[in-house]
Chains A and B, each alone.
Chain A
Amino acid sequence: MGKHVLLIEDEPNIIEAIRFILSRDGWSVDTHSDGANAVERVQSMRPDLIILDVMLPNKSGYDILRDLRDDPMTAKLPVLMLTARGQTKDRELAERLGVNEFITKPFSNSDILASVRALAGAG
Chain B
Amino acid sequence: MPRNALTGSRIRDRRTAKGLKQADLARQVGISPSYLNLIEHNRRRIGGKLLIDLSRVLEVEATQLTEGAEAALLTRMRQAAADTAKTGAEEDRADEFAGRFPGWAGLVAAQHDRIAQLERTVETLTDRLTHDPFLSTSLYDVVSSVTSIRSTSSILAGEEDLDDEWQSRFLQNLDNDSRRLAESSQALVAYLDGVGDAQGGATSPQEELEGYLLRNGYHLPTLEDGSATPQDLVADAALASEPAQILALAYFTRYEADALQLPLEGFLERFGTTPDPAALAQSYRTDIATILRRIATMPDEGAEQRIGLVTCDASGTLTFRKESPGFSIPKFGAACPLWPLYQALIRPHTPVEAVVEQASRTAPLFRCYAIAQPLRPASFHGPDVIEATMLIIPLEGAHELAAGAKAQPIGSSCRICPREACIARREPSILADGF
Which residues from chain A sit less than 8 Å from chain B, CB to CB? 11, 13-14, 16-18, 20-21, 24, 55, 84, 105-109, 112
Q: Which stretch (B92-100, B147-155, B386-394) binds chain A?
A: B147-155
- The listed residue (B143, B154, B169, B170) touching A105 by CB distance below 8 A is B143
Instruction: Indicate if the CB atoms of A16 and B173 lie closer than 8 Å.
Output: yes
Chain B residues with CB below 8 A from A105, complex form: 143-144, 146-147
A106 near B154 (CB under 8 angstroms)? no
Chain B residues within 8 Å of A112, by CB: 151
Docked-complex contact A13 and B152, CB < 8 angstroms: yes
B143 near A109: Cβ-Cβ < 8 Å:
no
Given contacts A20-B166, A84-B143, contact A13 B177 (CB under 8 A): yes
Distance in Å: Cβ of A84 to nearest Cβ of chain B: 4
A106–B147 CB distance below 8 A: yes
Minimum CB–CB distance for A7 against chain B, Å: 12
B140, CB-defined interface residue at 8 Å:
yes
Q: Are A109 and B155 in contact (CB under 8 A)?
A: yes
Task: Say how far A42's CB is from chain B's closest CB, in angstroms.
Answer: 23
Check B176 for interface membership: any CB of A closer than 8 A. yes
- Identify 24 residue pairs between A and B in the complex whose beta-carbon atoms are under 8 Å apart, listed by A's number: A11-B144, A14-B147, A16-B152, A16-B169, A16-B170, A16-B173, A17-B152, A17-B155, A17-B170, A17-B173, A20-B170, A21-B151, A21-B155, A84-B140, A84-B147, A106-B147, A106-B149, A106-B150, A107-B151, A108-B150, A108-B151, A108-B154, A109-B155, A112-B151
Structural contact, A11 and B148, CB atoms closer than 8 A: yes
- The smallest beta-carbon distance between B184 and chain A, in angstroms, is 12
User: Total number of A-B contacts with CB less than 8 angstroms?
Assistant: 56
Interface residues of B, count at CB 8 A: 21
How far, in whole Å, are A105 and B150 apart by their CA atoms in the complex? 10
Nearest-Cβ distance from residue A93 to partner chain B, whole angstroms: 16
A67 to B371, CA, bound (A): 44
CA distance A16 to B139 in the complex (A): 22
| 10 other A-B residue contacts (CB within 8 Å) besides A14-B144, A109-B151 | A11-B147, A13-B176, A17-B152, A84-B139, A105-B144, A105-B147, A106-B149, A106-B151, A109-B155, A109-B158
A53 to chain B, nearest CB (A): 9
Q: Contacts of B154 on A, CB cut-off 8 Å?
A: 108-109
Q: How far is the CB of B179 from chain A (nearest CB, A)?
A: 12
CA distance A109 to B159 in the complex (A): 12
Interface majority SS (helix, strand, loop, mixed), chain A: helix
Residues from chain B with a CB closer than 8 A to the CB of A24 are 159
CA gap between A31 and B310 in the complex, in Å = 43
Chain A contacts of B147 at CB under 8 A? 11, 14, 84, 105-107
Q: Is the interface of B mostly helix, strand, loop or mixed?
A: helix
CA distance A14 to B145 in the complex (A): 9
Chain B residues, CB < 8 A from A18? 151
Give the distance in Å from the alpha carbon of A13 to the alpha carbon of B139 in the complex. Answer: 17
Instruction: Looking at the assembled complex, report how far the CB atom of A37 sits from the nearest CB atom of chain B, in whole angstroms.
Output: 22
- Tell me which residues across on chain A come within 8 A of B150, comparing CB atoms: 106-108
Give the complex CA separation of A106 and B150 in angstroms.
7
- A54 vs chain B, min Cβ distance (A): 10
User: A13, A84, A106: which has the most chain B beta carbons within 10 Å?
Assistant: A13
Residues of A within 8 A of B146 (CB): 105-106
**Nearest chain A CB to B357 CB, angstrom units:** 43
Q: Which residues on the B side are within 8 Å of A14 (C-beta)?
A: 144, 147-148, 151
Interface residues of B in 48-81 (CB under 8 A from A): none
Q: Point out the residues of chain B lying under 8 angstroms from A11, CB to CB.
A: 144, 147-148
- The chain B residue sitting closest to A53, CB to CB, is B144
Contacts of B177 in A (CB 8 A): 13
B155 touches A20 (CB 8 A): yes
Mark B154-169 against chain A: 1 for CB-CB distance below 8 A, else 0: 1100110000001001
Contacts of A55 in B (CB 8 A): 140
Contacts of A84 in B (CB 8 A): 139-140, 143-144, 147
CA distance A11 to B180 in the complex (A): 12
B170 CB contacts on chain A under 8 angstroms: 16-17, 20
Given contacts A108-B154, A109-B155, A17 and B148 within 8 Å (CB-CB): yes
Look across to chain A and name the residue whose beta carbon is closest to the beta carbon of B159.
A24
Contacts of B151 in A (CB 8 A): 14, 17-18, 21, 106-109, 112
CA distance A10 to B166 in the complex (A): 20
